[in-house]
Structure 1
Amino acid sequence: MHTIIKKCRSCQYEHLEPILNLGETCFGGLLSEDQDEDTMTAPLVLVFCPHCSLVQINATMPREILLLHDSAYYFPSSPAKLNYFREIAQRIIACRRLSANSLVIETAGKEGYALQSFVEKGIQTIGIVPDAAAAKTAMRRGINTLNTFFSRQLAETLRDRGKRADIFIANNLPAVPDLNDTVDGLKTILKNDGLAVVEVPYLLGMIDNNQFDMICHQRLSYFTATSLDRLFRRHGLYLNHLEQTALHGGSLRVFVEPIENVQESVRIRLDFENGRGINTMQPYAEFADNVQRVRRSLKTVLLDLKESGQRIVGYGAGARATTLLNYCGIDQAILDYIVDMNPLKQGHFMCGSHLPVYSPNKLVEDMPGYVVILALNYANEIIHQQQTYYLRGGEFIIPVPSPSIINEDEIYAILSQKRMNTGEKNRPLPLPVQSPG
């Protein structure tokens, strides 16, 4: 069901170097209905391209399988993420002076929340959403939606119909099997004075925080500003400005245009990455060593708690949980069960570890001693949600960057936040001035 790439997804270089082998792993996030049954598996191997510096996995699952996952467990975005989308939309509207004659296109935007603020201002929008359930939700909310994948061919069709984008929003680049086709499509659909806003999890954030659980079959590419810059330039596009945000535990939001107008934010980041050695194997070899240490340490912490009579469960039944549990060998001998907010996952079993999935309500009813947070990108929201569990004596464990029990000061700092995980603490810089057409 999978193919192994022989060339870099970006530059087609043939001599890819292995970084980390996470083993034969269940396809992230797919659950089974039978406790003794596993869903499909594929190798999960991270590799490095020394030619363009792109880090990627070498197995590609069919897009139909990706859609199966999205459709089977479709669940609306969290409030924190909705606020996040609204904030960037409002900034774009103000700084780019969009009007009713403007067109904003978003690809793979799920239920269209990133476009909602544009619609409310009377701005034309098109959402390109492969997942049928999410597309229907977007259409019910008044978003003009195409239920298909974005590609160069689709971009050419839209262009020929007079639909070219003033703003193009893409947050799914890591999941794209054919990067060059997608970026070609972006170049085709964008007006000469248009702007593409692309957000990706930041590779340096992943390796600095030992977040190997972010590696999964759905996320094919892992970007730095350097690898993005090289990809876009190959297609006549220019990474002119960038920001770091808090999404996914640390992301890059890049602003890309057909006209070169590179700002200081990009030059500083490229110099920083070069100084970090991201064009060499060194930081990735260190990451692999750190991941192996985390695996040993996490297993030791959990086994010690188990041997002392404590009961432990996990929170989060997504792809990150699948990667972490499978690589670390954590199963029913260590965890009692998993809880997850998505009702479509409840009543199923984790692939590989065979752990049953229940509603988070079970935590207060059952009161296990410890909860391992497996959905780290929602850690703050989970702690807010489970205040009663904590106040009754429950404890939370964070597995990375190093396994630790969250202390009281950290808990109360999180609970005192008025807004969770939306990036407001690292206020982004202003949008770039529109390049002359």
Structure 2
Amino acid sequence: MMLIKEMKMPSCVSFDRYELSEQICPNCNGHGLSVFYTVTNTPVHSCLLMSSKDEALNYPTASLQLGFCWRCGFVTNTKFDPKVHEYSSRYEETQGFSECFNTFASSLAERIIKKYGIYNKTILEIGCGKGQFLATMCRLGDNKGIGIDPAYVPDRNPARDLQGVEFMQEFYSEKHADIDADVICCRHTLEHIEPTWKFLTMLRKTIGPRQKTLIFFEVPDVMCVLEEGRFWDIYYEHCTYFTAGSLAKLFRATGFDIDDLYLDYDGQYIIVTAFATGGTSSPYLEEEKDMPHMLKAIENFHDRCIYTINYWQNMIGKDAHPAEKIVLWGSGSKAVAFLNTLEVKNQIDHVVDINPYRQGKYIPGTGQRIVSPEFLKEYQPDKVIIMNPVYHGEIAEMIADLNVTTELLTV
């Protein structure tokens, strides 16, 4: 077992705890949030493409300050400013180049379609990204689709996959109330929206009396982030953080009835299906009763996070490993948070990504160049740090195919 040397905390990190008694929880409208974690000088975007190292190093930063609501179990960035964000064609969030992720997404689509009989229906996806999941839902169930996302890029999907699918490059709002959809899907978008109660209330209003419309949301689970001290899963773009319980409370409080609630993708994602309620609510599910668990996770986060920060400081520090060549695999938000929180610049020069639209770009804040897997054949790194353990098997196979001998580590 590696001996973890206690290191000085990065200057951007603070675990000072105090109350914001007048701040309103955007998830339940209650007064008072308890601050427990702060990161300063963190990039305001993780997925925008940086064309040069200079642009990446000088990209705007802000403070992230997590506050916990003891009423509903919600966690939010109390310093969040939505005006700094740019969701445009420069925004490159897709995980669709991973066979592992595509297998999960296809399996999820198939399960939802079969369980709820979504055949020859109309599906509306809010925050559809590049449209791959919506196209899959339409193909598997012979459905029609409408995708809404300001970051949608035309021509990224083969024309054969887009039959019966249309896209709007804009944000979802009340003006879309006239879209009579049988299914409303929203995956990995709600965590980018600060006023969650207002958003769900608006969505319920646009649905109106259509109580048979299936609502299907997917968001990251914060419980495992807190329990394991995963500081790389906390970043500015994600201004809201849910447990199954806080997500269910939000849905019930805004006029929805929970049909199913569970964790998926190795426990990383919360999936909820619901319907608009006309009055009487369904019995609470066991998964909703997680407040005691959440209180313990909040209490222990300080120790867990300090441990993980120290672990990775030891692992990548140039003082301990001056001649080692280390790369990260995965250049998305986790890598941005990992590198910026640890204040890593000279220790790591390259980040690998299989997404060709990311290759040749740079990591916001710390400036590492994003390279293709083929780069490793010549570079021959001593260590590869995988930014999500769910991809370990897929990445190990690719590295073996490249005839690269290296030590694989996962966060």
TM-score, normalisation: structure 1: 0.78
Aligned: 1:219 with 2:238: yes
CA RMSD of aligned residues (A): 2.8
2:410 counterpart (356, 381, 398): 398
Residue 26 of structure 2 is matched in structure 1 by 9
Q: Which amino acid aligns with 2:332?
A: G
Q: Which amino acid aligns with 2:105?
A: F
Residue 200 of structure 1 is matched in structure 2 by 219
Residue 6 of structure 2 is matched in structure 1 by none
Aligned: 1:309 with 2:323: yes
Q: 1:284 to 1:124 in 2, by over 3 A?
A: same
Per the alignment, in what secondary structure is the counterpart of residue 364 of structure 1?
Answer: helix
5+ unaligned residues in a row in structure 1: which ranges?
A: 400-437
Map 1:157-172 to 2 at 5 A: 158=178, 163-171=179-187, 172=189
Count of residue pairs brought into register by the alignment: 378
Deviations 1:327-352 (A, max 9, x none): 112221x2232222233433333233
Q: 1:319 to 1:208 in 2, by over 3 A?
A: same
Deviation, structure 1 residue 125: 2.2
Deviation, structure 1 residue 75: 5.0
Aligned: 1:254 with 2:268: no
2:170 counterpart (145, 148, 155): 148
Q: Which amino acid aligns with 1:23?
A: T
Q: Distance in 2 between matches of 1:335 and 1:262?
A: 51
Residue 3 of structure 2 is matched in structure 1 by none
Map 1:96-135 to 2 at 5 A: 96-100=116-120, 102-120=121-139, 121-133=141-153
Q: 1:354 to 1:98 in 2, by over 3 A?
A: closer
Aligned: 1:181 with 2:198: yes
Deviation, structure 1 residue 286: 0.9
Per the alignment, in what secondary structure is the counterpart of residue 322 of structure 1?
Answer: helix
| Residues 32 and 39, structure 1, Cα contact 8 Å, conserved in 2 | no
Q: 1:73 to 1:306 in 2, by over 3 A?
A: farther
Residue 427 of structure 1 is matched in structure 2 by none
Greater mean alpha carbon deviation, residues 222-231 or residues 113-122 = 113-122
2:333 counterpart (303, 314, 319): 319
| Residues 146 and 166, structure 2, Cα contact 8 Å, conserved in 1 | yes
Deviations 1:126-185 (A, max 9, x none): 21122141x55469523122221112x1343x2xxxx33322111111112331332123
Aligned: 1:60 with 2:103: no
Deviations 1:51-96 (A, max 9, x none): 222111123343672414x624365613333332322332333332
Aligned: 1:81 with 2:111: no
Deviation, structure 1 residue 309: 3.0
| Residues 244 and 262, structure 2, Cα contact 8 Å, conserved in 1 | no
Deviation, structure 1 residue 108: 0.8
Residue 260 of structure 2 is matched in structure 1 by 241
Q: Distance in 2 between matches of 1:76 and 1:229?
A: 26
Q: Which amino acid aligns with 1:109?
A: C
Deviation, structure 1 residue 12: 2.8
Q: Distance in 2 between matches of 1:150 and 1:192?
A: 20
Q: Distance in 1 between matches of 2:221 and 2:95?
A: 24
Q: 1:74 to 1:292 in 2, by over 3 A?
A: closer
Per the alignment, in what secondary structure is the counterpart of residue 192 of structure 1?
Answer: coil
Q: Which amino acid aligns with 1:299?
A: Q
Deviation, structure 1 residue 110: 1.7
Q: Which amino acid aligns with 1:398?
A: T
Q: Which amino acid aligns with 1:309?
A: A
Q: Distance in 2 between matches of 1:213 and 1:110?
A: 22
| Residues 85 and 113, structure 1, Cα contact 8 Å, conserved in 2 | no
Deviation, structure 1 residue 312: 1.6
Q: Which amino acid aligns with 1:348?
A: K
Q: Which amino acid aligns with 2:355?
A: N
1:293 counterpart (279, 286, 307): 307
Residue 287 of structure 2 is matched in structure 1 by 269
Q: 1:316 to 1:258 in 2, by over 3 A?
A: same
Q: Kindly, what percent of the aligned residue pairs are identical?
A: 21
